[in-house]
Amino acid sequence: MDTPGAGSSRVEVSIGKDRAVSEGVRSADKAGHHPGQSKPAGTAPSPSGGTPRRSSPLQEPVLVLNATFEPINVTAVRRALVLLLKGVAQAEEHNHAEIHSANASMRVPSVIRLLTYRRIPQQTRALSRKNILLRDRNTCQFCGRTLPASELTLDHVIPRSRGGLSTWENLVTCCYRCNNQKGDRTPEEVGLRLVRRPRPFTLHTSRQLMRMMGHQDEKWRKYLFY
């Protein structure tokens, strides 16, 4: 068996027919980390508080893009590898791990893209403070600062006192400083300018992707648009 390169993880699998791939992946998933790894990344404490339990590299999340590069799902490395080997997807980004067999090696994907467009029904999300912050990525829409949710509020672009409604098109994420500066006026009246025009939040992604946004692999961020 070859020695894995520095800074990379190694998992042994069979790469061949679909059945062999699935069996190899299941076998590797049970095997855990390789013997030379003293304190593997992804280690989590066991429910009983005893010996830490390692999260298998084949269970790590992979961002799935439609053929148009639109993010549509999050899957596990195990499933992503099967899609790649079947030729229905291609890898757009990789992490630092590798998968090896007797006669082939594969870099573990972080982002994959489907080669055939998959139609996803468009759904506008419920109007809420949480979803406004998600849409705006916790970024003040006047000064452009990205802040924790606790340091942000919502602002009516057209003030309610002037007939402004609580809609996707009239609510934006705002820091307290800009909110105080704007007060009960329009942005133009106080010299503020919106970073982008607000619009409904219709991102075609799962709830899992929403929870992970901003906390996942750096390589994901350029694909998480709305």
Both structure tokens of 57: 């590299």
> What is the DSSP pairing of strand 61-65 with strand 105-114?
parallel
pLDDT per residue rounded down to tens, the chain (226 residues) = 444 444 555 555 444 444 444 444 444 444 444 433 434 444 444 444 444 444 577 888 898 999 999 888 888 899 999 999 999 999 999 988 888 877 778 899 999 999 999 987 777 778 999 889 988 989 999 999 999 999 999 999 999 999 999 999 999 999 999 999 999 999 999 999 999 999 888 755 555 555 565 556 778 878 876 4
Task: For each of the domains in the chain, give its residue range(s) and CATH number, in order of start.
Answer: 10-34+52-114 (no CATH), 122-211 (1.10.30)
- Tokens representing 108 are 């573990």
**Residue linked to tokens 């013997």:** 35
Nearest Cα to 75, choosing from 203, 205, 225?
205
Residue partners of 177: CB distance under 8 A and separation at least 6: 143
pLDDT of the residue at 97? 84
Task: Determine contact, residues 135/226, Cβ cutoff 8 Å.
Answer: yes
Closest by CA to 9, choosing from 30, 35, 27, is 35
Sign of the Cα torsion 178, 179, 180, 182 reads positive
Q: What whole-number distance in Å separates Cα of residue 89 and Cα of residue 79?
A: 11
